[in-house]
Structure 1
Amino acid sequence: MPGIDYEVEYNNRARVPEHPALMAGWARDAAAYRMQRPPQSIAYGAGQRQTIDLFAGDGDGPIVVFIHGGYWQALDGSSFSHCARGLNAHGIDVAVPTYDLCPRVTVAEIVGEMGTAARALARFGRPLVASGHSAGGHLAACLLATDWRALDPSLPNDLVVAAYTISGLFDLAPLIETSLNNALRLDPDSARAASPLFWHPPEHGSLDALVGGNESAEYFRQSRAIVEQWGVADIATRFDTIADANHFTAIAPLADPASPMVARLKQLAGR
């Protein structure tokens, strides 16, 4: 849209000067949780980053998948192990996948990797609740909208029963005009093809789209747009904000067993 400075809107590290300390806190808390509750490592592909950390609960009901952010070009699942704490406290299994990064691969290839990871988790014979932060929110929405039967006739089409996105990105076209695109290498066609906002809406399940209360206007627009568009298609949708949260603190409630965020994910997992 004319008149919008997309660099300002989407450069979260510039918007939150204290982000180095917040990200260091993620790594510290994640390492401590991994020591306390070592995960099972599951390979879903041959690549070094194509792994899933499974933090076991009681082995019953849907598995909640948490997909990390980093604009498809940074970080890995090991920095977010602590995001399993809140749900694990209620006996819910949490899977935290890692994926290859741009520019080594494209966004479309990362979407494909998460589909492969979901198929690997399908071997447990349990539904999945796909959650994610930032780029991970984009990937979670993609999983909900995937036609699983078309990929593998042995899979149930409702393999993913819900998506829960935190500060997600669903329309990638604005990123073309930002420095982020140096690694993403998106053009108008590839950005639209990788944008779940423009996919055929899912025919089942639900979508929750949350945004940190202190995020940019574009993040609010992104989540409201997909809630509205998929809601018109008769998918149960919710839009909400996380009070006083910026892009880096928005995921903090996942580590708190008593938080409303964990309570909602618990509800989505049927617990």
Structure 2
Amino acid sequence: MLYRIIDWDDAYANGAHIARAEDYPPLWSLRAAEFRAAHPPESLGRGHLFRPAGAARGLVVFVHGGYWMKFDPSVWSHLAAGPLGAGWAVAMPAYTLAPAARIGQMTREIATAICEAATRVDGPIALTGHSAGGHLAARMVCDDGTLPDDIASRIICCLPISGLFDLRPLMRTALNDTLGMDTAEAETESPALLTPRAGIPLTAWVGGSERPEFIRQSRLIADIWAGLGAATSHVIEPGRQHFDVIDSLSHPDSALTRALISR
């Protein structure tokens, strides 16, 4: 069966294909505010660091999405509930959004925030992120010095959720009017075109009801990095779409949370 993209904007449009998509952002913000009221975080620059009641088993880092141009960590606090309930500290870093920043700058800002969080929390590190945040999470484990060796050596898992790993197709969309990528940046910032760090397993997680491009992109990174020696898996979660595939991070015993921290 042939797969061909004719409308590039529609191929990467999520909300247009999700029922009552407009209801999700206010619901996320409400749940996040309620969670912060019950679990006040430490400041992590413009982001947040949540700590469990006792000594942390390690550090989970969640990088938010929004096509590199929307949202901030305060919208996603409730997603810390799963790892936090399992005894892990959770960092939710902020980054400068487009058009004020290019994607390369965002990569550097997330790396800096991870290093800061890692100085505050001992033990293993597990990276995750959603959509554009999935891209940034995977970008952290590329073998190009993005993270220093002493921090990278602590990473036990990278689990991007509904991520974007080859940025070149996005240059054909209206998104690039804001992102401003040229070919050089799209290639330099595409994890699928880079070499993974040795010894860090990658699980590309995506919803079964997502746009075909998100499923293809997740399969792509798992396949390419496996061919470069990384331990990879590709999980398609049945019935989940782009806006609810992250919900399971709120539960300590969910398959998604277990895949992130059970090593």
One fold, TM greater than 0.5?
Answer: yes
Pick the aligned partner of 1:126 from 118, 123, 128. Answer: 123
Distance 2:194 2:232 in 1: 16
- Residues 157-216 of structure 1, C-alpha deviations (whole Å, 9 max, x = no match): 414332101100000111111111111011222111110111122212110001111111
2:229 alignment counterpart: 234
RMSD: 1.8
Pick the aligned partner of 1:116 from 112, 118, 142. Answer: 112
Unaligned regions of 5+ residues in structure 2, if any?
Answer: none
Whether contact under 8 Å (1:141, 1:165) holds in the other structure is yes
Distance 1:36 1:117 in 2: 24
Letter in 2 for 1:61: R
Whether contact under 8 Å (1:71, 1:134) holds in the other structure is yes
Distance 1:263 1:12, change over 3 A: same
Unaligned regions of 5+ residues in structure 1, if any?
Answer: 44-50
Whether contact under 8 Å (2:204, 2:233) holds in the other structure is yes
* SS across alignment from 2:48: strand
1:48 alignment counterpart: none
1:243 positional shift: 1.7
Compute the TM-score of the two structures, normalised by the length of structure 2.
Answer: 0.93
Distance 2:185 2:144 in 1: 19
Distance 1:129 1:102, change over 3 A: same
Whether contact under 8 Å (1:136, 1:168) holds in the other structure is yes
Aligned: 1:55 with 2:78: no
Decide which moves more: 116-125 or 238-247: 116-125
2:29 alignment counterpart: 27
Pick the aligned partner of 2:137 from 137, 140, 147. Answer: 140
Distance 1:226 1:4 in 2: 23
Pick the aligned partner of 1:205 from 196, 200, 219. Answer: 200
Whether contact under 8 Å (2:203, 2:233) holds in the other structure is yes
2:73 alignment counterpart: 77
1:42 positional shift: 2.1
* SS across alignment from 1:144: coil
Distance 2:102 2:178 in 1: 9
Whether contact under 8 Å (1:131, 1:164) holds in the other structure is yes
Whether contact under 8 Å (2:125, 2:155) holds in the other structure is yes
Whether contact under 8 Å (2:118, 2:151) holds in the other structure is no
Distance 1:235 1:217, change over 3 A: same
Compute the TM-score of the two structures, normalised by the length of structure 1.
Answer: 0.90
Distance 2:148 2:64 in 1: 25
Number of aligned residue pairs: give it: 259
Alignment map for 1:206-221 (pairs within 5 Å): 206-221=201-216
Distance 1:25 1:210 in 2: 23
Letter in 2 for 1:233: L
Decide which moves more: 16-25 or 191-200: 16-25
Pick the aligned partner of 1:4 from 3, 6, 19. Answer: 6
Distance 2:32 2:262 in 1: 24
1:46 alignment counterpart: none
* SS across alignment from 2:232: strand
Whether contact under 8 Å (2:14, 2:242) holds in the other structure is yes
Letter in 1 for 2:251: D
Whether contact under 8 Å (1:144, 1:161) holds in the other structure is no
Distance 1:157 1:26, change over 3 A: closer
Distance 1:53 1:185 in 2: 28
Aligned: 1:38 with 2:34: no
Counting aligned pairs with the same residue, the percent is 36
Letter in 2 for 1:163: C
* SS across alignment from 1:123: helix
Pick the aligned partner of 2:249 from 251, 254, 260. Answer: 254
